[in-house]
Amino acid sequence: MKILAYEQELPGAQAEQFQRYAKEEARKTWQLHQEGLIRELYFRADQEIAVLVLECASKDEASVILADLPFVREGLIAFDLIPLRAYPGFERLFSIEDASRA
């Protein structure tokens, strides 16, 4: 299952705290990417907000994985998690019923 993870900075987070954990955060994120758990990583073009796409069995699993990131563990950020499913609209184009009428 794909999970969209949208970062939110938590109140009270200070720039020096982010700097303190930045390398550890990058290492852990790289590890998760190499394991195929984080499939895509972005920042919004207009804000310093991370947007990740994870491949997990469930929203709960994604939550556990992200909880191990240093910025999350240290209470600097949290993620809103949005489970995604495949777009079903193409089925209308390629369904068996439609194919038999062609």
Indicate the domain borders of the chain.
2-101
At 102 the pLDDT is 54
Query: Which residue has tokens 């970062």?
Result: 7
- 93 token code pair: 């184009």
For 15-49, b where at least 16 C-beta lie within 10 A, e where not — what string?
A: eeebeebeeebeebbeebeeeebbeeeeeeeeeee
At 91 the pLDDT is 83
In the chain, the largest separation of any two C-alpha atoms, in whole Å, equals 65
At 97 the pLDDT is 63
Q: pLDDT for 17-46, tens place per residue?
A: 999 999 999 999 999 999 999 999 999 999
Regions of the chain short of the pLDDT cut 70: 96-102
CATH of the structural domain 2-101, one choice from 3.30.1280.10, 3.30.470.20, 3.30.70.1060, 3.30.70.580: 3.30.70.1060
**In this structure, are residues 54 and 38 in contact, taking their beta carbons and an 8 Å threshold?**
yes
Tell me the C-alpha distance between 60 and 73, whole Å: 16
